[in-house]
Structure 1
Amino acid sequence: MGRTSSKVKQKYNDKVYHQVSVRLQKELVEQWESQIAQDGISKAAFIRDAIVRYLQKKTEE
């Protein structure tokens, strides 16, 4: 049952989400991770919020 459940979840994730990968300097990432941890923000939430704010700004132009 565990495998079926994992396969179903993966199929759903593949259907609904896109994965984004980026390479950044280690020092920059370490500083960013430290700051968002202090602020209680997940990496995904930070990136999602940044994208939403960018898109909102572009629609207001």
Structure 2
Amino acid sequence: MRAIAYDQHGEAGQVLRLSEQPAPPAAPAAGQVQVRVLSRPIHPGDLAGVESLPGGLRQR
């Protein structure tokens, strides 16, 4: 599985990185479901936290 992560605030194109993560379990447990997501949009609010814009959460 791939994930996009960051460990410092700044311009999204400079601080975001793509990494491989361990694959989730092969099958969901009882009472759970597994959803495959092929793509997802990036909401401007998502970038506010990365870029530490006003209104976004600031890392301490």
Same fold flag (TM > 0.5):
no
Higher strand share: 2
Higher helix share: 1
Higher relative contact order (CA 8 A, sep 6+): 2
TM-score range, shorter chain: under 0.3
Structure possessing the higher radius of gyration over alpha carbons: 1
